[in-house]
Structure 1
Amino acid sequence: MKNVLIVGAGRLGKGFVGETFFNAGWNISFLDKDPKVIKELLKNGNYKVRVHKTDTVVDNVISGYQAFTTDKQHSVSEAFLSSDLLMLPLYPEDFKEAAHYLGELFEQQFKQNPNSKKTLICLTNKNHIIPEITAYFRDNLTNQETKDWFDSHVAIRDSIVRRSTDAETNYSTNLVTTAVASLIIQEPVYSDFSDVQWLDVRKNVAMLKDIKVFTINGPHAATAYYGYLKGFDDIPTAAQEEDIAALIKGVHDATVQAVLKEYPVTRDEIRELEYLPEAKNEMPDTIFRVGYDPIRKVGPKDRFMGVVALCEKYDINYDAITKAIACAFAYTEPQDANAIKLQDDIEQNGLQNTVASHIGRDQNSEVVAKIVDEYNKLAQLGLIG
């Protein structure tokens, strides 16, 4: 039986990755830094996932796994050494800490089984960070000999997540997910997971991921932030409201124009990447999940500003995107630490300086002025408290 170590046992780790490998009959081990996440996983020895497929809804009970915290004893050592595949459903800011913890285990692997190889698949919506993640791992190896071995025996690969997974909390053991589209994985890989459904190895993943993040995640995030200001709790309901629907269309239209100019793709190829079949009785995606961490989402190369840069390059109107960004700066969800940080920054440094700092532009730039103007319009409409 094949072995997989899932580093990050939150919503995506349990609801998508764990459920997928359980169905394929793999031995599953979870590793997480949060003791409460692991405690809940081990309490009953199983967790439940409601899976919405295109034609049915399945209730699956996942069991027979191991679960470890990132303890000082490295209790996960045996599970790590026996796994040739590591799945890392982590937020971008968590990879550095994960690499630090796993560094000692890669040292063990080099000493005990230098002929073995590993594939690490990173599941995050941030693009172009594999060199940075690779550097984190190499920096935690003690000598050049180990680093040379790592370079030739460990493949760190990016992926494109096209699956919604949700739960009440990160440590919940009752989850809901959709199963309508595959995880697209960067080639080449060392591990054989051809027996696992919903994993699709392809070329040109960096380009495809840019297109996916821009065309799907951009309008999705716009829906979340404007929907929040208008008092909605879930994405499907918010998307039906007239003003929000108009913003979604504006963001999407500008994005598609920019993508067609920048990348060697056709409109039909973009549609193929964007198209996600409708799941039966599909769960309503929450504003909270989609809007989570507005600081990352308004960043210089992310779903909004990455497209703005292309629009500037090709002289495409991007007013809708600046409105979406303004909504993100007005997002005040109290359970989202980075939403609160944005509000603290605005209070301490002023709106213009805060916008400029987080989107990576000069405070006197045109795009900053447009965002500030859109923010003020939202305030005048009474949408910002």
Structure 2
Amino acid sequence: MQKANFPSVHADFGSEYCASGRIHFFSHLAILTAIFCTSSVTFGQRPRSAQPSGAISLKDPLCARMMGQSTAVINGKEFGLAIREFADQADASVWIDRHVDHSAPIDAGQVGPTVYMAMKQIAQTRECVVMPIAGVVLVGRPEWVDATATSIGSIVQSASVWSTPKRIDVQWSEATTPNDSLSRIFDAASMNPTHRALDHDLWPAQRWKSIDPAVAIALVLAQFDLTFASPSLPKRLATEPIDVSNRYAQKYDLGAYRTKVLAVIRRKDRSSSAKTDRGLLEVTATASAHRMGIDEFFTTQAKNHRDKNRRTPVSLDTNNVSLNLLNTPAIEIFEKLASATGRACVIDSEAKRACEKMVSLEAKETSFRKLATQIAEQISDQGIIKAIWSRNSLTISAAPKVP
């Protein structure tokens, strides 16, 4: 039996973490990945994140982290790995459709400028969508994400299914079966319901921190297009197919974006309804309508990030750049440096041959100006290569060596 094609979450990526205001470039066998983050992340062991409120709002801890600034160039990286790296930046649990090949290499190009937008753009390379719900980020085919969100949304709002204030930590190792995964969730939640066996499969290692047990169970079942048959838990887990036409209530705190997001939701679901509940907007709609409304909210926020960055020049002399390169063409590095600073990259004809050279370099806490100069010096041979910064461009030029 082959392993299912969906990845684990909360993987550790060591040096690929991005700290506030740091810029990291990673290259493996001439594949360049550049990541620019301003979201706050702590190196080493991370503290447990604040619990998600469940509302789509910048006041919600998960939503705020998903709006953390992050820009990258993704070429040749595996789909699942790229998704997990950005989810890890937001300290988010991610659940990927098992029918999507997470090992497929992708060429997404430049993604960002926020964690959400980066994940969305990566997902689009595999015709997938992204949707945060109940503290988890779903990634997969639109129909699967909508079905999974319908299951979770209905369970979260329904007291008749089963609910507990207790959140659990649960994990399983590589090659665990779906039934064993359910057993680990049951053990962590101190329950032992009878249930029909799920289809056999082998799943990757998984780790969830502080997750609602009902949501965890729903995520496992959704990989088989199943949900709870209400009421069943905690004594018995009865399942039934997910009815994606069902509507569920989702709370929003949209501020100035209320009218625009509501218009998107109503355009998709004409039968949707909205009311105010304890200062929050509660919208009842189909999952696909919620997904489009949530995407509108995050996309608009990302546009604001982009506009703000255009008004704020990137410093060339601040020591906030780290780099780890292995056999990467110099021209690719210069292009990424120019792009990260909002400038055009100009390669003089006399310098083109030198810029084709492969560069291996590791630098920590340096500046754009120092880094460009260091790379130019490394590729200098018969001529002297210079990196010249101007207001609008990074120009790489060559001059003959003086005898």
TM-score range, shorter chain: under 0.3
Whichever structure has more strand as a proportion of its residues is 2
Normalised by the length of structure 2, the TM-score is 0.25
Whichever structure has more helix as a proportion of its residues is 1
Structure showing greater Rg: 2
